[in-house]
């Protein structure tokens, strides 16, 4: 029941972060990045892969 609001709030937080730090404003790229991070998270300890998974789509930007 809370899945949709949770995904929406995570998207909004990631959109704000991408807008402020990466100058990325395309919702499609931000959503793809978010879901790539969700896919990478279970395969790494402490879900650290989520952040690297999110960075895959932003190849021209530094990961850190």
- pTM of the predicted protein model: 0.81
Q: Say what the pLDDT of residue 56 is.
A: 82
Q: Say what the pLDDT of residue 53 is.
A: 85
Q: Say what the pLDDT of residue 63 is.
A: 64
Give the H/E segment covering residue 5: helix 3-17
Comparing CA positions, the residue from 13, 17, 15, 50 lying closest to residue 35 is 50
Give average pLDDT by consecutive 10-residue segment, the chain, 64 residues. Answer: 93 93 90 90 86 82 68
Q: Say what the pLDDT of residue 54 is.
A: 85
């Amino acid at each position: 029941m809370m899945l949709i609001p949770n995904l929406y709030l995570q998207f909004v937080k990631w959109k704000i972060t991408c807008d402020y730090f990466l100058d990325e404003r395309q919702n499609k790229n931000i959503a793809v990045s978010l879901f790539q991070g969700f896919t990478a998270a279970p395969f790494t300890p402490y879900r650290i892969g989520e952040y690297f998974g999110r960075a895959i789509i932003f190849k021209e930007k530094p990961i850190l």
